[in-house]
Structure 1
Amino acid sequence: MSRPLRIPHPGTPLHLYRHLLREASYLPPLARPFADGQIKDRFRQHQKDDPEGEKTRGRIRQAHHELRVLRAANAGDMTRMRRVLLRAFGRVGRRRRELMAGLLHRDMPTNTEELQKYAAEALDIAAAGREIDWLDAWDLKKLRTFANSQIQAGLVNNPKSDITPAQINPGKSIPTENAWGRPLTPKLARTKLKKLWKTAADKCMPPLPREEWERLGNLVTGAVHDPRLLPPARRPVARSMSGDGPGGRNWDWQSYAIKPVAVVDRPANRQNKLLTGAVDDNTPTGDPQPIECHNYTARTWQRLLASIWRLTATMEKRPDGQSWKIEWGKLEFWPAAASAGDMEFFRDFPEPEKQRKKGKGGT
């Protein structure tokens, strides 16, 4: 879209709920299920809360902000659209925490050998004289394997800071003595170990389910050309038969009388127009175009989703049951073929002469 959406401001929580679902329907189909599910879950979770409570008012303010972000993203704000896609594919936000829980979860023993291994770990904890904590429930071997794979992948435009090799081996970073030269107590050493592992986990980009990862990859690489995988065209906004609607605006002279002009005109600023949807009536040449307003095309969506796919991976256990197969989204670069007019510069091109190795007396 070339202009931000101009529709009446939702006045009730139910009206706001419908507006959020409407804006989420214009997201890419791969990202829409998460957005719809989160909107519906949050509304049903707090549907019976006190409408006059302070927490409810705070949630409504946050919902209005999310609605403005979705409108700006659908109107052409690529920075906010990328942020929405990062949340939808679990690179940041709530879904990332859900995917990380699956990555850190330890599998239940399936045979006697694994059960004996679990029992031996429990005996070691009891012998150390400490209680079982949340770090004991993490699959540290699986986390270290995935973190090492992420380091080797070399992610570009990662929303999190990069993982260092030292962070996937935190046991080596714990000192043996404290600041006074005394041996480190077991409780303090355990606290430091948990903190280092938590830091490493916070920087991981958890793997996606195999089916979702392949669908995203097929759309990015062009293996599937399905128009239904792109966002639908926006339906026109309904207009009143009498002509009364958001188009009929009156000059709010009271605001100009009691507030600075810069404050009153701030919502209609070119930098804020995509977020607020305000109209600038004071420009002689008409309402100007907002800044950073892009026209989404199929190629734009492909590049935007490609930047997300490079941050995703899939992780499966190998048949031996001892290791994992990890694949990251990567695009192979193939230079464009030369045109017919430029082929004359590449035809019958002589091979480069081999350079002689210089010896002690060579020239």
Structure 2
Amino acid sequence: MAIPQPQHWVHNLSTPKQWRHLFRATLRECTYLPDPIARNYMKNHIISRYRTVSSRSPKAGPQVVHAARNALSVLRRANEGYSRPLEKVLLLSYGRTGRRRHELLAKMLTPEIPNDSKALKELLSQPADFSDGWEPPAIVKNLAASQMQNTVVTAARIRPLIKQLEPPIPKQDSWGKELAKCRKKNIRRQWYSNTLCSLLPPLPEKDLRTLEGLLSGTVPWGPVKRRDSKPQVSSTESSGELFRLLARGPEKGTTFAEYANGRPHSITIRLMRRQWRRLSALVPRQYWNPISQKWRFLWDSPKEIPRLSFDLDSSIDPEAFFKESIQAKEDKTEAHQPSQ
């Protein structure tokens, strides 16, 4: 039995002119995004998707049409200030979800090229993937352990939760016998696939500096000015009150129907910094620990933590600074004492 499709899936874009209008409208919305990284990424992503579909088949089906119109709708609502579409675009652009997350994971898991014959022999002597004695890459285990301990990432739930750091291989099967090797291999493969599906990879250094600069204010930011659209004259303006009553029905009062899926916000620096702060808490900072000889990961806080200490200027002598402050306080106390 065929599954009934939504009504707007039926209306395909039959002519190249219609596709061109939709493509240009989508690219135009990409230029209005309030985040610089999102503007560049979404533009390249839209161009890549349209080229892939056009090279695959000359005539697109209803699902492709629905995906194209849905992308335009998400971008428009993100530019209007709806929280969920804006968050979705930012998560896609910063590699927390979607295609870019897979690209960052693949870059992180790229094996190092052996420098000499000894390193090559060690690489060849390792057991095959997911067989007995196989171990996942150390960076995967370290990132999974760090992400599993982070309560902010766990509460965000943008990725499936990491439940175990080791593949759950039982000692015996349901008949009390030793588990078969093929079954162990499948369990390791499934566990590794689920772990990769849950990981949040670190950002490239350039994008991370941009994100931190937007948070601190060192990278300038301003709302993008939209191009003025042509005023559209409604066809019902020339008609009378009777026609509007028959076409639209009686006028209703103020309702919340238009805010059922959220309400738009004015895109300000305050709103964007909240979004960037939440996004920064989902980006691990990767560094090499020379003592343990392992990769370590640090996570930012979703809320700004007040500083309890400040750095003094290097030209100021701390001892002289505090000595002058204490001397001024003593002089002030002596001045307020009553003379006998």
Above 0.5 in TM-score? yes
- Residue deviations 1:43-78, cap 9 Å, x none? 222334544453xx4212210111111111111211
Q: Is the 8 A contact 2:82 2:263 kept in 1?
A: yes
SS where residue 285 of structure 2 aligns? strand
> Counterpart in 2 of 1:46?
53
Could you list the structure 1 runs, at least 4 aligned residues long, displaced by more than 6 angstroms after superposition. 133-138, 285-289
- The root-mean-square deviation of aligned C-alpha atoms, in Å, is 3.4
Q: Is the 8 A contact 1:104 1:138 kept in 2?
A: no
Equivalent residue for 1:98, pick from 79, 84, 103: 103
Letter in 2 for 1:159: I
Q: Is the 8 A contact 2:210 2:219 kept in 1?
A: no
Alignment of 1:236-247 (within 5 A): 236-239=228-231, 245=232, 247=233
Q: Is the 8 A contact 2:223 2:268 kept in 1?
A: no
Q: CA deviation at 1:225?
A: 4.9
Alignment of 1:141-152 (within 5 A): 141-152=138-149
Cα distance change, pair 180–48 in 1 and its aligned pair in 2 (3 A): closer
Alignment of 1:1-363 (within 5 A): 12-27=18-33, 28-54=35-61, 57-121=62-126, 124-125=127-128, 140-156=137-153, 157-164=156-163, 167-170=164-167, 173-222=168-217, 224-227=218-221, 230-239=222-231, 245=232, 247-250=233-236, 282-283=251-252, 290=259, 291-317=262-288, 322-330=293-301, 332-334=304-306
Q: Is the 8 A contact 1:158 1:311 kept in 2?
A: no
SS where residue 183 of structure 2 aligns? helix
Matches of 2:37 and 2:134 in 1, distance apart?
Answer: 32
Letter in 2 for 1:18: R
- Residue deviations 1:290-348, cap 9 Å, x none? 45221111111001111111101233556799422433333551189xxxxxxxxxxxx
SS where residue 333 of structure 1 aligns? coil
Q: Is the 8 A contact 2:211 2:280 kept in 1?
A: yes
Cα distance change, pair 289–162 in 1 and its aligned pair in 2 (3 A): closer
Gap regions ≥5 residues in structure 1: 1-9, 126-131, 240-244, 252-260, 266-279, 337-363
Q: CA deviation at 1:283?
A: 3.6
Matches of 1:43 and 1:296 in 2, distance apart?
Answer: 29
> Counterpart in 2 of 1:276?
none
- When normalised by structure 2's length, the TM-score is 0.72
Gap regions ≥5 residues in structure 2: 1-12, 238-245, 309-340
Matches of 1:51 and 1:140 in 2, distance apart?
Answer: 43
Segment drifting more, 149-158 vs 206-215: 149-158
- Residue deviations 1:87-117, cap 9 Å, x none? 1111111111111112233222224443232
- When normalised by structure 1's length, the TM-score is 0.67
Matches of 2:95 and 2:250 in 1, distance apart?
Answer: 41
SS where residue 36 of structure 2 aligns? coil
Cα distance change, pair 31–151 in 1 and its aligned pair in 2 (3 A): same
Q: CA deviation at 1:148?
A: 1.3
Matches of 2:235 and 2:131 in 1, distance apart?
Answer: 58
Q: Is the 8 A contact 1:213 1:313 kept in 2?
A: no
SS where residue 324 of structure 1 aligns? strand
- Residue deviations 1:118-147, cap 9 Å, x none? 1221xx44xxxxxx5799999521100111
Q: Is the 8 A contact 1:13 1:60 kept in 2?
A: no
SS where residue 208 of structure 2 aligns? helix
Matches of 2:257 and 2:28 in 1, distance apart?
Answer: 26
SS where residue 334 of structure 1 aligns? coil
Which is bigger in relative contact order (C-alpha 8 A, separation at least 6)? 1
Q: Quick check: which one's helix share is greater?
A: 2
Q: Is the 8 A contact 1:219 1:302 kept in 2?
A: yes
Letter in 2 for 1:16: L
Matches of 1:31 and 1:236 in 2, distance apart?
Answer: 22
Matches of 1:136 and 1:233 in 2, distance apart?
Answer: 58
Q: Is the 8 A contact 2:143 2:296 kept in 1?
A: no
Letter in 1 for 2:26: L
Q: Is the 8 A contact 1:31 1:89 kept in 2?
A: yes
